[in-house]
Each structure stands twice: as structure tokens, then as C-alpha cells.
Amino acid sequence: MATTLTPTRSRAVTIALAFSGMVVSMMFTLMVPIIPDLPRLLSASPENASWAVTATLLSSALFTPVSGRLGDMYGKRRMVVVSLLLMVAGSAVCALSSSLPVVVGGRALQGCAVGVIPLGISIMRDLLPPERLGSAMALMSATLGAGGAVGLPLGALLAQLADWHLLFLAAAGTGTVGLVLTLTVVPDSPLRAGGRFDFLGAAGLSSGLVCLLLPVSKGGGWGWDSPLTLGLFGAAAVILPGWGLVELRVAEPLVDLRATARREVLITNAASIAFGVAMFGSSLVFPQVLQAPAASGYGLDLSLFQAGLCMSAGGAMMIVLSPLSARVTDAYGPRVTLMTGALLAVAGYGLGFFLMDHVWQIVLAATVVSSGVGLGYAAMPALIMGTVPTSETAAANGFNSLMRSIGTTSASAVISAVLAAHLIRIGDVPLPSREGFRLALAITTTAAASALAIAAFLPRRRPTAERILMDRHRSVGIDGSRSRIS
């Protein structure tokens, strides 16, 4: 029968998985300081150099649901190890080359590691005792934002003091530490779904996501009304519904769409898209205000490193609030936690809309937004795993992570387009105007309010830790074999 871990071992497993999640999240923002210099560093045009960013976006979206399904089938710990290996390999490739095709390939490998966070949450459900499960899942969810907040000032510091390749060496080194911790501290879960991998479903989902996310990411450069952009959107509109119809007919689909259509899962995934917009909007707007020159009329003239330190306060708050979010979820249910997080995000953006004149005001607004997003992200795994069968937790969490990625990608495209349409010039340098930033904040506030409205439709009943433990025991027999849950 499935067993849980001792308190000491539970803490060690939680720390190891949370560290790995931090490493993966940090990897995404480590290279943000060098993005403006990528054309020079890679001897490429700005359009071609942007593939170093787009490649990570696409690979993370494609591999996350795949790694979740493979984790359910063959072992979640095994897929965490594979994901971290891919990240270390990709980081090493980027660290050893200045060639655009090689760096793009390395960045694509790095993106494959994003599934570590949903896989880690699923491992926690399989192994941790009920009384520790809520706080551990909240901490793991918080790493998604906290790691990114740590990566920005660290990346800026490394970029200022050393060669840019050191950024990728740092990612490879921390990824290796996460890999060693996973191999030595995290036990393998006995829960397996078995079955056959849905290659047709993986191909269909990959094709549809490429056709959807590629124009969202590159549409600003290609032109939103260009034949390529419109053609890819049209292809996505055909492929994704077709993929869904096929998945409904497959006995062992890549994504169980019937499970995702359940009220709790469907509403949680919809709220995840809105939360993704809300989270990434903060990362796009506030750092630019902090770094803009005072001559712009609104800028606070900080360096990239100083701006990163200011933004890291929000990431730290996400970690600090993770035990509180677990207590709120235990006492009132994940629905209340999700709605509270959305309210805080709305309040934070409201503060930013009116208070942008001093550094402390931006820090306060960004920290309130991050606190809200942290609470929201912490509630989502509890909502998902209280509904889906234990044999599908990694795949369901991976799909939820994909929904958040769609939100962040959409936020990047929409807010970048808004800021590009509202420019002022300081000398020969174009900068977004104050009105542009306020319009961007209005969009992110609307996204957070949408998450609040969507979450209100969740049922009031809450999944309990005891039910999760009961599902775990029902899923594994004495010999470790799995029986399906209807």
C-alpha cells in the first residue's frame, strides 16, 4: 500500500523539489538583462536573435503536457530527472557557443524543464502526509514567481561583472545541484498509470500550439495582419479543435479532455490564463518604469540590477506567504484562496495605476500583485488534484501549467504592442509614455478582475487532504499495481 514519509524526510523532499522549481523558474529570467544585446552578442539581426527567447517559450509549452503524461505513465521522479538533465544540457550548450543556431537549440532544451514544477507538485501528492501537503504544494507553486524574481537581479549582476556566457554556466550549475538533490533525496513514487503513449495526440497538440503561440509571440514583428500571422492563427483554429475531437476518441489520450471539462478543472484552467496575464504584466510594466530616465517625466532612473532587487521583494513575499495560503486553503478551501489572490492582484495594479512617482510606491504595488499571484498559484494544484484521478495528476498539472503559459505569452504580446503604440522620445531614444503604462496596467487589472469573476463560479465544497490520501491508497495495491479510478 502507498506509504507517506516521516516529517524529516518530508521536509527534505519538499526542499529538494522546491529548489529544483526555483532553478527552473530562475533560468527564464537570468538572460533578461542581455536580451537588448542579443543581436550584437549573437551576430544576428534583431528578428533572428529573438528566436533565442521564442525557442524557450515554444519548447516549454510543448514539452510540459508531454512530460506530465510520461510522468504519470513511467514515473514522475524519472521525468523530473530527465527535465533537469535537458536544462543542464541546454545551459551548457549556450555557455559554450556564440552561434545563433546553437544558442537557439540550447534555449529550446532549457525550456523543456518547465514541467519540473507540476511534476514536483504531483510527487508531493503521492508521497507527503496530508498535514504537510498543503504547505508543500503552496511552496512549490510559489517557486514559479519567486525564482523569476531572483533570476532578474542575479542575471543583471552577472551580466555587468562578467561575460554573458556565465549566465548559462550559472543555470547549468544550479540545475546540476537540483538534479543531485532529486536523485539523492526524492524517492520514486509507486503510482503509475501504465498504458501507451499517445503519439498522435502529442503531434496534434504540438502542431496546434506552435500555430497559436508563434504568431502571438512574433506577431508584433511580422505584423498582426500579415499573411503569415493570420495563416498560423487560422491553422491553430483548425488543428486544436480537431486534436480535441481525436483525443475524445482515444482510449488513453495525452490529455483527458473529459477530466479537464469537469467544472473545477475547467474553471481553474480558465482562471490560470487570466492569472498568467496578471503575473507577467507586473514583470513587463514595473521594471521599465523603475529603469526609465527621469527626463521621461515618470522614470525613476534605476539600473537594471537595482530594478531587479526592487522586483525581488515580490518574489520573496510569494515564498513567505506560502504557509499562509496553505492555512487559508485548509480552513476555507482553495476557492477562497484563489479569489483572495485575485483581489490582491487587482488592488496591487490599482495602486500602481495611481502611484508611480517613487520607488517605494512601485515596490509596494509589485509586491501586492506578487502576493496575490502567489496565493492564486498556490490554490490551483489543490483545485486540480482534488478533482482528477491520482493516476492523472502530473498530466493535469502540466496542462494547467500550459494554460498559465498561454496567459503569460498573451500578456507579453498585448502589453508590448500597447507600449509600442504609445511612445515618447527622449533625444533619439523612444520610450513608452506614462499613458501607455497606465493602459497596460488597466489591461492587467482587467485580467486579475477576470480571474476573480471566473473563480467565483467554482463550487464551494473543497477537496480535503484526507480525500487526497484516500485516493492515493485506492490507486496503489499491496504489490504496487495500479487500479483505475472511475
- Quote the CA–CA distance of 235 and 233 in Å, as a whole number: 5
Residues 281 and 213 in one domain: no
Highest mean pLDDT pick, 84-93, 126-135, 204-213, 351-360: 84-93
Q: How many other C-beta atoms lie within 10 A of the C-beta of residue 199? A: 9
Which residue type sits at 117? I
User: Are 268 and 404 within 8 A, CB to CB?
Assistant: no
What's the confidence (pLDDT) of residue 333?
A: 86
pLDDT category, 1, cuts 50, 70, 90?
very low
Helix (H, G, I), strand (E, B) or coil at 425: strand
Residue 395 has pLDDT above 60, yes or no: yes
C-alpha distances (whole Å) from 259 to each of 11, 117, 247, 373 are 31, 21, 12, 25
Residues 165 and 134 in one domain: yes
What's the confidence (pLDDT) of residue 481?
A: 41
pLDDT category, 227, cuts 50, 70, 90?
very high
| Inside any domain, residue 484 | no
- Give residue-wise pLDDT tens across range 278-311: 888 888 889 889 988 988 888 899 988 888 888 8
Instruction: Supply the mean pLDDT for the chain.
Output: 86
Q: Which of 351-355, 388-392, 445-449 has the lowest mean pLDDT?
A: 388-392
| Inside any domain, residue 401 | yes
- Quote the CA–CA distance of 93 and 414 in Å, as a whole number: 32
User: Are 168 and 94 within 8 A, CB to CB?
Assistant: yes
What's the confidence (pLDDT) of residue 427?
A: 79
Residue 467 has pLDDT above 80, yes or no: no
Residues 239 and 286 in one domain: no
What's the confidence (pLDDT) of residue 468?
A: 54
What is the percent of the chain with per-residue pLDDT over 90, rounded to a whole number?
A: 35
Q: Which of 34-38, 249-253, 453-457, 463-467 has the lowest mean pLDDT?
A: 463-467
- Tell which residue, 24, 98, 18, has the closest CA to residue 63: 24
- Give residue-wise pLDDT tens across range 208-223: 999 998 898 888 888 8
User: Are 402 and 65 within 8 A, CB to CB?
Assistant: yes
- Give residue-wise pLDDT tens across range 469-482: 545 555 544 334 44
Mean pLDDT computed over 159-175: 89
| Inside any domain, residue 486 | no
User: Are 167 and 32 within 8 A, CB to CB?
Assistant: no
10 Å CB burial of residue 240 (0-12, 13-18, 19+) is middle
Residues 238 and 309 in one domain: no
| Inside any domain, residue 483 | no
Residues 313 and 168 in one domain: yes
What's the confidence (pLDDT) of residue 314?
A: 86
| Inside any domain, residue 329 | yes
Instruction: Give the DSSP per-residue string, 174-187.
Output: HHHHHHHHHHHHPP
Nearest-Å Rg of the Cα atoms of the chain is 21
Residues 100 and 182 in one domain: yes
What's the confidence (pLDDT) of residue 157?
A: 85
| Inside any domain, residue 364 | yes
Residue 465 has pLDDT above 70, yes or no: no
Residues 375 and 236 in one domain: no
- Quote the CA–CA distance of 437 and 417 in Å, as a whole number: 11
C-alpha distances (whole Å) from 365 to each of 152, 300, 312, 319 are 18, 15, 13, 17
Mean pLDDT computed over 373-392: 82
What is the percent of the chain with per-residue pLDDT over 70, rounded to a whole number?
A: 94
Q: What CATH code is carried by the domain that includes residue 401?
A: 1.20.1250.20
User: Are 152 and 19 within 8 A, CB to CB?
Assistant: no
Residues 177 and 208 in one domain: no
Residues 146 and 237 in one domain: no
Number of folded domains that form the chain: 2
C-alpha cell at 19: 529548489
Helix (H, G, I), strand (E, B) or coil at 325: helix
Contacts of 33 (CB under 8 A, 6+ apart): 152, 155, 156, 159, 160, 304, 308
Residue 213 has phi, psi (to 5 degrees) of -80, -30
| Inside any domain, residue 480 | no
What's the confidence (pLDDT) of residue 177?
A: 96
User: Are 49 and 100 within 8 A, CB to CB?
Assistant: yes
Mean pLDDT computed over 461-470: 51
What's the confidence (pLDDT) of residue 135?
A: 86
10 Å CB burial of residue 354 (0-12, 13-18, 19+) is exposed
Compute the Cα dihedral for 230, 234, 235, 237 and give only its sign: positive
Contacts of 472 (CB under 8 A, 6+ apart): 2, 125, 126, 191, 390
What's the confidence (pLDDT) of residue 2?
A: 47
Residues 35 and 148 in one domain: yes
| Inside any domain, residue 2 | no
Residues 230 and 145 in one domain: no
Q: Which domain holds residue 399?
A: 7-189+254-475
Running DSSP on this structure, what letter comes out for residue 196?
A: -
What's the confidence (pLDDT) of residue 323?
A: 83
pLDDT category, 464, cuts 50, 70, 90?
very low
Whole-prediction pTM:
0.85
What's the confidence (pLDDT) of residue 329?
A: 85
Residue 6 has pLDDT above 90, yes or no: no
- Give residue-wise pLDDT tens across range 12-46: 999 999 999 999 988 888 888 888 888 989 998 88
Residues 42 and 124 in one domain: yes
C-alpha cell at 220: 508584433
| Among 253, 270, 293, residue at a domain's last position | 253
Contacts of 93 (CB under 8 A, 6+ apart): 102, 103, 105, 106, 109
